[in-house]
Amino acid sequence: MGVVDVLGVWAMNDERNPKKRYIGQIYTTLRNYREWIDSDTVVIGDFNWNVIWDESPDGPLRGDFSDTVGIMNDCGLRSAYYSVAGSDFGDEDVPTFYIFAPDDVVDSVSKFTIGEYDDWIDASDHMPVIMELEM
């Protein structure tokens, strides 16, 4: 992989348009810029959402977590954390940011670390992910 396009994510609440809050923002962005996202793209950041909230009583949202992951999978991207950890969305042990990357990147992960709660809680309730690659 040569040049990489990075789509940084920090999903927020949208009180004026609650259907597009959090994961709805990411879903809408991916749909609007789908032609830009390909096997040279990494989507990384704080989605502020989890599949366990897809059935939110405040829904329905414009696209949920499963829909959003589906778009990224269709674009050739998969979650590095869940691929390396071997777990399913919603079964993670600690809150984390997400990294969606092409197969060749995910397959070259040599080390994957999630920041320790005590080291990071002053900055965020999500723990950073550190992904080292052997390419």
Tokens of 96: 């984390």
The CATH label, of 3.30.365.10, 3.60.10.10, 3.30.2130.10, 3.30.70.360, for the domain at 5-103 is: 3.60.10.10
Whether residue 14 has pLDDT greater than 90: no
Looking at residue 31, its pLDDT comes to 93
Looking at residue 72, its pLDDT comes to 94
Looking at residue 24, its pLDDT comes to 87
Asked whether the beta carbons of 77 and 41 are under 8 A apart, the reply is: yes
Average pLDDT over the chain, rounded to whole?
84
The residues near 11 (Cβ < 8 Å, ≥ 6 apart) are: 21, 22, 23, 25, 26, 45, 46, 47, 48, 49
What backbone phi and psi angles, to 5 degrees, belong to 71? -65, -45
**Taking the domains of the chain in order of start, what are their residue ranges?**
5-103
Q: What pLDDT, in 10s, does the model give residues 47-97? A: 887 777 777 656 666 788 889 999 999 999 999 888 887 777 777 776 667
Looking at residue 62, its pLDDT comes to 75
What backbone phi and psi angles, to 5 degrees, belong to 15? -70, -25
